[in-house]
Structure 1
Amino acid sequence: MTAALATLCSARPGQTGVQLLDDGPAALAVRLHIVRRARRSIDVQYYIWRDDVAGRLLLDELAAAAARGVKVRLLMDDFGCAAAEHLAAALPGLEVRMFNPARLRWPRWPNAIFDFSRLNRRMHNKSLTVDEIATVIGGRNIGDEYFDAGHAEMAADLDVLAIGAIAGEVAANFQLYWDFPAAVPLARLAAPAAAALAPAPLCGRRRAYLAAAENPATLALVDEAQDFTWASVTMLSDPPEKISGNCAEDRLMLPQLLAAMAWAKQRLLLVSAYFVPTPASQALLCGLVERGVQVDVLTNSLLSNNVVLVHAFYAPWRAALLAAGVRLWEMRGTSGDRVSFGLIPRRLRRRRAAASFFRASASELHAKSFITDGRWLFVGSMNFDPRSWRLNTELGFLIDSPVLAKRLETALDDGLPRFAWRLEAHGGALAWCEDDHLIQPEPGTTSLQRAALWLLGRLPLGHLF
């Protein structure tokens, strides 16, 4: 990275420069840009890596960095990155490892029968760290649906670009995963590539990504101090040993996260793509309400949820949470322009509407975040569900910044009534509030779908989540 960036960080010892990245194209552009700036090392860790334009483009940039002498290490979860495995194997200069890999490489489906318990535990972390001075972490995987504003299934998501000492902590955490025995070199798993991988064709989507990365506005995001908010940032991370199922609870990320939520004295705003309460987490949320804390939860509706089983396990909790005073919001999931959190840096704002929480309804909510008392902000990979707590490894930042927390809180308050349904009890049943009218039964569902949901929610599948 540049000497100017190092000087910028050294002038603020103990602090981290932070920017929130809710705009998809900008989030990919920043990744491409810091990879191009790398001089010594790039550490990349992801749960899902698609074989699509965004996936190919970032791999091309990593290979280009390796060709100029940068040490590039790529740690991919074997479950979510199987489609890109052959791409990584064909690129020279990259050190690639697969986390918790399946023993039978092809066909893979028998692994689910004979090795399910082990393979059900996944590395859900998402990070890209350059020269131990700049890092991007958050909710996004690598794929067009996370970055392309024109993608049919664009997900509303949130990342953090951070510069300073915290990047070194993320790099050290990456090293723990890289050295863990479950991180297996790809060369032991994949057949040698027959030939070098040809660059992805210069299609319209690729041109758009490259244009965003080369835009002076994107360059300014990394270089200019006024675009960063300087704050105290704590990295929260599960140890890689979590996948063994024998890791002591006090070493896990969850207790720290729940403690941060329990600090709330006035308000907790929770955003979770997958929201599946347990008796303990229900007690936490309801206990906050009893103490006078306003608790708002935004999650996916059935229409916007991409995992029906998650919705089936969430749905039975709604009535009890509402009765306790928790305010529930569900994404409407209707068609329209793609979405953002309304936090696009000023240089990237092209129209007034971009400053709102959602420009229009999303196909899917994918963000994982919460705000307490307009001061503490969490952004990371962890959903508010048992799978994230018990099975997957996770990573996130807890940011002490009234500026950023209030910015996101205001965006949520402005946008939620327009782009999410608020749930309430009405006539002994649930109702979904849209503008000034109520919708019953559950929006976008048929009686058959509701019956199927009821049945799924009562199957003995809780261990999956």
Structure 2
Amino acid sequence: MGSKYINRICTWCLKLGLISILAACQNLPSQQGRSIETHITADTPSSLAYANASLVSEHKGLSGLYPLDDGHEAFAARIALVRAAEHSLDVQYYIWRNDTSGQLLFHELVLAAQRGVHVRLLLDDNNTVGLDNILKALNQEPNIEIRLFNPFMHRHWRALSYMTDFARLNRRMHNKSITADNQATILGGRNIGDEYFDMGKGTLFVDLDILAIGPIVNQVSNNFDRYWNSASSYPLNGIVHPRHIKLQASMPIFKHRSFNHLRANSYDNAYNRDNFANRLLDGSLDYQWAHLILVSDNPDKALPKNRRKVEATQSDNNLLIEPDTEQPPVIKYQKASLTLNALAASVVEPQKDLLVITPYFVPTQTGLEYLQKLREEGVKIRILTNSLAATDVAAVHSGYSHYRTPLLKEGVEIYELKNQGFLKGPRDRAFTGNSESSLHAKTFTIDGQQLYIGSLNFDPRSARLNTEMGVVIQSPEMAQFMNQAINEALPYVTYQVKLTPQGKLEWTETNDKNQTKVYHHEPDTTFWQRVWVKMLSLLPLESLL
């Protein structure tokens, strides 16, 4: 046998040995001894409870919501909520950037803990790269507990972990919420990061949250407990060893190169300008009152199928949140089911109009057939998603591109956001530069009667792999306002995709002078971008998108 063959065999043996070692080290720590915790009761006295009491009693059975469609105000609302907390903060996020907004909010959690607030922070571990030292320092605070959802045991070789534990690590927690004293909550589509709060010089995300008070808050708190105590949530110290901590929670926040003092000042100015904290605590926020239905996945959805069956035998609780005795059930939930099933059970079937706003639109064949059925019944359907120029995930665009022609043939209207579609208003260019915009909001309206806001994308990943949550808002006023606002903006911030008489795609742009321009390929893109998406569209990726 030649030496080159011996070298190949040795190389493969080394690779197999490395994989075996990784597999041996991949075992997750035991959950034995982990505490099972629940949120505080809604009648616990607090400043937020006092501020909300008369408002909630005046609107019995309804929840108050305040839309957060402006990035600066969305950040100010989070700071105000953390500062208003007196007993507890339950915080759950998919992405938490180690940038200016992320570090400022970490610092606020530390200050809250130091004044006696019990902080529970649950982060999906897929996006905590580079955060281990800060998380360890925060976790040393007496009143801060951190858990990681579906964690990576290899902190420096995460990609290799997929080789030995892909079935689990491919499933992520996409939920986003922050709740103070079980009295007020913010939930929706935003992660924590400068780009989600309209700050930075890269791509900025157009997003949507709500701040809510009333019955919905206790339901969100119950939902958080289920995730916090789930089989996929691991205390930080079992994953990231606390030894060699050089940072203190009061120190690390402002000593990272990604922190920008000018942006911090801009955030501070926005907080003071909005006067959000005073409005939150004196009850003067302009809440809209409606019946809200919380829609949330079972956290067991994030378990591989073999483990999911084991966990299912340990509990027969098929209802995520028990309804209040005075209210109808407000959670639609089936164990290990798709969010879309729960969502479908929570809304009325469209009879006249369906508006879908989603950054990632991959309807699959099942979704295509459903939309075709609605069109046959005469339902007007409008889809707003990202253009190729605006998307931050080209692979998803490749999956979406298959469906444009069949949808257009059925009479579905498709609009694609321009890469600067929502950046034409006045804004501080010192902090946004020539930033582009990308749609990140996930919402839809039905017949001008119901509105959904949450984390759910209309793609296979949201339906089958990631956990999702959101609220169905039964408010004709809000649904019709959303429809009107979108109708007014669509011609100027999007390209409308149409079919030519020959069956070819074309993109129509309207400027502020009502002049139109027609493109015969994806606007504002290069030849190589289009080639790359075309190549991706030939690969069997749809189930992963």
Taking structure 1 as the reference length, the TM-score comes to: 0.91
AA at the equivalent of 2:409: A
Alignment of 1:328-339 (within 5 A): 328-334=414-420, 337=423
Closer, same or farther: CA 226–181 of 1 in aligned 2, 3 Å? closer
AA at the equivalent of 1:196: Q
Residues 191-248 of structure 1, C-alpha deviation per residue, up to 9 Å, x if partnerless? 3222304142771111121222233532355243560001000000001000125466
Alignment of 1:284-363 (within 5 A): 284-334=370-420, 337=423, 362-363=436-437
Distance in structure 1 (CA, Å) of the matches to 2:342 and 2:222: 19
Match of 1:136 in 2: 186
2:509 to 434, 441, 449: 434
> Is the contact made by 2:209 and 2:453 (CA closer than 8 Å) also made in structure 1?
yes
Task: Please state how far the C-alpha of 1:12 moved relative to its aligned partner.
Answer: 2.2
Structure of greater Rg? 2
Residues 153-179 of structure 1, C-alpha deviation per residue, up to 9 Å, x if partnerless? 110000011011111110110000110
Closer, same or farther: CA 444–212 of 1 in aligned 2, 3 Å? closer
1:105 counterpart = 2:155:
yes
> Is the contact made by 1:333 and 1:362 (CA closer than 8 Å) also made in structure 2?
yes
1:46 to 93, 109, 112: 93
Alignment of 1:58-457 (within 5 A): 58-91=105-138, 92=141, 93-192=143-242, 193-197=245-249, 198=251, 199-200=253-254, 203-215=261-273, 217-219=275-277, 221-222=279-280, 223-225=282-284, 227-246=286-305, 251-259=337-345, 263-334=349-420, 337=423, 362-426=436-500, 427-435=502-510, 436-457=516-537
Task: Please state how far the C-alpha of 1:46 moved relative to its aligned partner.
Answer: 0.2
Residues 135-170 of structure 1, C-alpha deviation per residue, up to 9 Å, x if partnerless? 000000000000134543110000011011111110
Closer, same or farther: CA 338–229 of 1 in aligned 2, 3 Å? same
Closer, same or farther: CA 138–259 of 1 in aligned 2, 3 Å? same
Task: Please state how far the C-alpha of 1:292 moved relative to its aligned partner.
Answer: 1.1
Closer, same or farther: CA 16–411 of 1 in aligned 2, 3 Å? same
Distance in structure 2 (CA, Å) of the matches to 1:135 and 1:396: 12
AA at the equivalent of 1:37: A
Match of 1:24 in 2: 71
Moved more, 391-400 or 241-250: 241-250
Moved more, 145-154 or 385-394: 145-154
> Is the contact made by 1:278 and 1:386 (CA closer than 8 Å) also made in structure 2?
yes
> Is the contact made by 1:50 and 1:83 (CA closer than 8 Å) also made in structure 2?
no
Task: Please state how far the C-alpha of 1:254 moved relative to its aligned partner.
Answer: 1.2
Closer, same or farther: CA 336–424 of 1 in aligned 2, 3 Å? closer
Task: Please state how far the C-alpha of 1:81 moved relative to its aligned partner.
Answer: 2.5
Taking structure 2 as the reference length, the TM-score comes to: 0.78
Give SS of 1:82's match. Answer: coil
Distance in structure 2 (CA, Å) of the matches to 1:441 and 1:215: 44
Closer, same or farther: CA 335–259 of 1 in aligned 2, 3 Å? closer
Match of 2:38 in 1: none
Structure 2: stretches of 5+ with no match in the other structure: 1-46, 309-333, 428-433, 511-515
Moved more, 201-210 or 98-107: 201-210
1:36 to 83, 97, 101: 83
> Is the contact made by 2:422 and 2:493 (CA closer than 8 Å) also made in structure 1?
no
Task: Please state how far the C-alpha of 1:298 moved relative to its aligned partner.
Answer: 0.4
Residues 121-147 of structure 1, C-alpha deviation per residue, up to 9 Å, x if partnerless? 000000001111100000000000001
> Is the contact made by 1:245 and 1:391 (CA closer than 8 Å) also made in structure 2?
no
Distance in structure 2 (CA, Å) of the matches to 1:399 and 1:241: 26
Paired-residue identity, % = 41
Closer, same or farther: CA 82–316 of 1 in aligned 2, 3 Å? same
Distance in structure 2 (CA, Å) of the matches to 1:400 and 1:54: 32
AA at the equivalent of 2:464: R
AA at the equivalent of 2:529: Q
Give SS of 2:443's match. Answer: strand
> Is the contact made by 2:421 and 2:492 (CA closer than 8 Å) also made in structure 1?
no
Task: Please state how far the C-alpha of 1:338 moved relative to its aligned partner.
Answer: 6.5
Closer, same or farther: CA 77–447 of 1 in aligned 2, 3 Å? same
Give SS of 1:442's match. Answer: coil
Distance in structure 2 (CA, Å) of the matches to 1:416 and 1:81: 36
Give SS of 1:69's match. Answer: coil
Give SS of 1:233's match. Answer: strand
AA at the equivalent of 1:263: E
Moved more, 420-429 or 142-151: 142-151
> Is the contact made by 1:150 and 1:338 (CA closer than 8 Å) also made in structure 2?
no
Task: Please state how far the C-alpha of 1:383 moved relative to its aligned partner.
Answer: 0.3
> Is the contact made by 1:237 and 1:252 (CA closer than 8 Å) also made in structure 2?
no
Task: Please state how far the C-alpha of 1:70 moved relative to its aligned partner.
Answer: 0.8
Closer, same or farther: CA 220–195 of 1 in aligned 2, 3 Å? closer
Moved more, 239-248 or 411-420: 239-248
Closer, same or farther: CA 74–424 of 1 in aligned 2, 3 Å? same
Structure 1: stretches of 5+ with no match in the other structure: 340-350, 354-359
Closer, same or farther: CA 297–335 of 1 in aligned 2, 3 Å? closer
Closer, same or farther: CA 275–400 of 1 in aligned 2, 3 Å? same
Closer, same or farther: CA 225–319 of 1 in aligned 2, 3 Å? same
Task: Please state how far the C-alpha of 1:262 moved relative to its aligned partner.
Answer: 5.9
AA at the equivalent of 2:264: R
